[in-house]
Amino acid sequence: MVRENNEGEYSDIGGRIFSGTEDEIAVQQSVFSKRGCDRVMRFAFELAQRRRKHVTSATKSNGIIYTMPFWDERFAAISKEFPDVRADQFHVDILTAQFCAPSGLV
């Protein structure tokens, strides 16, 4: 398993206001760069070349409308650089259902 932990939801952009009150608000900004996405994806594909020759990407691009579709687009582009590695893309919801449900029910 390879996952991004420098960008995306792990960026340090955001904050809280009105702490300790009924009006408290927390904001977290996700940041996805082409360089950052491509770096982690190439690492995953290079690792797959030495192992099972299979990479699966899971996103929430059906609900997070800017960053996750960008990730999906970058994954599709990088996967073309590794024709010997099978690449799958899923929404995390269906991927989770496949883990939880008996085979053939989802």
Per DSSP, the residues of 18-69 read: STTSTT-EEEEEEE--HHHHHHHHHHHHHHHHHTTSEEEEEE-TTTS-SHHH
Here the tokens at position 63 are 């609900």
Q: What tens-digit pLDDT sequence spans the chain (106 residues)?
A: 787 777 877 788 999 999 999 999 999 998 999 999 999 999 999 999 999 999 999 999 998 899 999 999 999 999 999 999 999 999 989 888 887 876 655 5
Tell me the pTM.
Answer: 0.82
- With beta carbons less than 8 A apart as the criterion, state whether 54 and 86 touch: yes
- What single DSSP character describes residue 13? E
Which has the closest alpha carbon to 89: 79, 97, 99?
79
104's tokens: 């053939």
